[in-house]
Amino acid sequence: MRDLIRFGFAITGAMIRGGRAYYLWVAFLCGWVALGVAAYLHQFEVGLVATNMVDQIPWGAYIANFTYLVGMAAAAVMLVIPAYVYHDHALHEVVVLGELLAVAVLTMCLMFVMVDIGRPDRFWHLMPVIGRFNWPASMLSWDVIVLNGYLVLNFYITSYLLFTKFCGREPDRRKYVPFVFLAIFWAVTIHTVTAFLYSGMGARPHWNAAILAPRFLASAFAAGPSLMIIALSIIRDKMGFPVKDAALNRLRQIVAVTMLINLFFFFSEIFTELYSFKHHAASMRYLLFGLHGHNKLVPYIWGAMALDVFAAAVFLTPKLHRNPRVLMVGCGSAVVGVWVEKGMGLVIPGFVPSPLGEVVDYTPSFTEFCVSAGIWAMGALIYTLLLKAAVPIELGKLRIAQPEAVS
Partner 1 sequence: MATDTDLHAEPSALEPHEKLAETKLDEHGSRRTFLKIAGASAAGVAAAAATGCGSPGAPTTEEFFRQHYKKLNDEDKKKIFARIEDEVRARSGVSVHISDPPPIEGVDFAYALNLSVCNGSRRCVEACARENNLPDDPELRYIRVMEMEVGSLEFEEATAYYEPEKVPEKKKFYLPVQCHQCDNPPCVKACPVGATWKEQDGIVVVDYSWCIGCRFCVVACPYFARRFNWEEPTIAPERINPTQGYLSNRLRHKGVVEKCTFCLHRTRAGRMPACLEACPTGARKFGNLNDPEGEIRKIIDTKRVYVLKEDLATLPRFYYYFG
Q: Which residues contribute to the site for partner 1 (CB under 8 A)?
A: 34-35, 37-39, 41-42, 44-51, 53-56, 58-59, 113, 116-123, 125-126, 131-134, 137-141, 144, 197, 201-204, 279, 282, 350-351, 353-358, 366-367
For residue 88, the minimal CB distance to partner 1 (Å) is: 39
* Residue 111 or 255 having the CB closest to partner 1: 111
The residues pairing with 57 across neighbouring beta strands, listed in sequence order, are 54
Residue 294, SS3 per DSSP: strand
* Residue 345 or 353 having the CB closest to partner 1: 353
* Residue 49 or 395 having the CB closest to partner 1: 49
For residue 265, the minimal CB distance to partner 1 (Å) is: 23
186: number of CA atoms within 13 Å, CB side? 24
> Considering only CA atoms, which of 176, 254, 253, 177 is closest in space to residue 221?
254
For residue 31, the minimal CB distance to partner 1 (Å) is: 10
Q: How far is CA 244 from CA 81, 93, 236, 241, in A?
A: 17, 9, 9, 9
- Name the region of 396 (left: φ>0; alpha: ψ -120 to 50; beta: rest): left
For residue 351, the minimal CB distance to partner 1 (Å) is: 8
For residue 268, the minimal CB distance to partner 1 (Å) is: 23
| Angle 250-68-300 from CA coordinates, rounded to 5° | 100
Query: Could you give the CA distance from residue 250 to residue 203 in angstroms, rounded to a whole number?
Result: 41
Query: Using CA atoms in the order 342, 347, 349, 355, what is the torsion angle rounded to 10 degrees?
Result: 150
| Residues making up the chain, counted from first to last | 407
* Residue 35 or 260 having the CB closest to partner 1: 35
φ, ψ of residue 274 in degrees (nearest 5): -80, -35
* Residue 202 or 318 having the CB closest to partner 1: 202
For residue 17, the minimal CB distance to partner 1 (Å) is: 24
* Residue 51 or 158 having the CB closest to partner 1: 51
219 and 71 Cβ atoms separated by less than 8 Å: yes
* Residue 61 or 231 having the CB closest to partner 1: 61
For residue 110, the minimal CB distance to partner 1 (Å) is: 13
